[in-house]
Amino acid sequence: MITVRKSKERGASNFGWLDSKHTFSFGQYYDPRNMGFGKLRVINEDVVEGGAGFGTHPHDNMEIISYVLEGALAHKDSLGTGSVIRPGDVQRMSAGTGIAHSEFNASEKDPVHFLQIWVLPDERGLEPSYEQKSFPVAQQKGRLQLVGARDGRDGALTIHQDLDLFVADLAKGNEVSHALRPHRKAWVQVTRGAVTVNGTPVGQGDGAALTDEAEVRIAANDNAEVLLFDLGA
């Protein structure tokens, strides 16, 4: 079964310096019908204007993944970590027992466009930690590139949950597929372009929830970029 969460149906927050779209219930946007999908709790698509950002704020007991689509995002946290995240980079921060961090547009004039993803951890009270890796776009062209996994295999980030995260950069006409083991489900988030997922149209900003499916088949109707989450029960 496939259920599409349309882009236009997402929650929205606009503070001038921040334009945010919420796939699932978040902050002032409360939607009891869309509280997450399995252990996937938040997918926010944020655009932050130049020179602006989120001041230092706390988190705990959450796996927080940042994925930049355009521009550059500057990150600092209470572990003493500082970095800039750019397209092709993926960052995972395990908030665990508690961490404080800030996220600012690294540019004073150009906007930064990114996804912030929250995943519930498989264990509470983990030691806070941070990891960031670069995955060249060339490795994602026409294929699903593993960028996050519980076991950190094949050079992926380690995510403290039974979840595999893939990214694909697809030219029009490309098709990719991913087998789902029994009792697993998947979420496909389209960040650019338009695709079909198991024959169902899914456009930019849309998400598709797949349950009781043996395979995820993604065909690009246009040049497209997608994230695929393979999730445990």
DSSP string, 110-161: S-EEEEEEEE--SSSSPPPEEEEEE--GGGGBTSPEEEEETT-GGGPEE-SS
* Whether 83 contacts 127, CB under 8 Å: no
Do 115 and 87 contact (CB within 8 A), yes or no?
no
Res 143 pLDDT > 90: yes
Q: Check whether residue 126 and residue 114 sit in a common domain.
A: yes
Given 135, 164, 195, the domain boundary residue is: 135
Residues 101 and 174 in one domain: no
Residues 93, 99: contact at Cβ < 8 Å? Answer: yes
pLDDT digits (tens, 9 = 90+) for 53-62: 999 999 999 9
Pair 29, 130 in one domain: yes
Residue 151 and residue 204 in one domain: yes
Task: Tell me the per-residue pLDDT of 62-121, one tens digit each, with 9 for 90 and over.
Answer: 999 999 999 999 999 888 888 999 999 999 999 999 999 999 999 999 999 999 999 999
Distance CA 142, CA 192 (A): 14
pLDDT at 96: 96
pLDDT of residue 81: 84
DSSP state of 7: G
Answer yes or no: is pLDDT of 233 > 80: no
Choosing from 135, 168, 203, the residue where a domain stops is: 135
- Reported as a pLDDT band with limits 50, 70 and 90, residue 138 is confident
Q: What is the pTM of this model?
A: 0.96
Both 59 and 148 in one domain: the answer is no
161: containing domain: 138-231
Strand segments, DSSP code E, in 32-128 are: 40-48, 53-59, 63-70, 73-77, 82-85, 89-94, 99-105, 112-119
pLDDT: which is higher, 136 or 178: 178
Q: How many domains does the chain have?
A: 2
Largest CA distance in the chain: 48
Quick one: which of 112, 108, 96, 222 has its CA closest to 170?
222
Same domain, 114 and 17: yes
Closest alpha carbon to 189 in 216, 158, 149, 162: 216
Query: Which residues partner with 113 through β-bridges?
Result: 47, 70
Q: If you average pLDDT over every residue of the chain, what do you get?
A: 96
9 φ, ψ to 5°? Answer: -90, -10
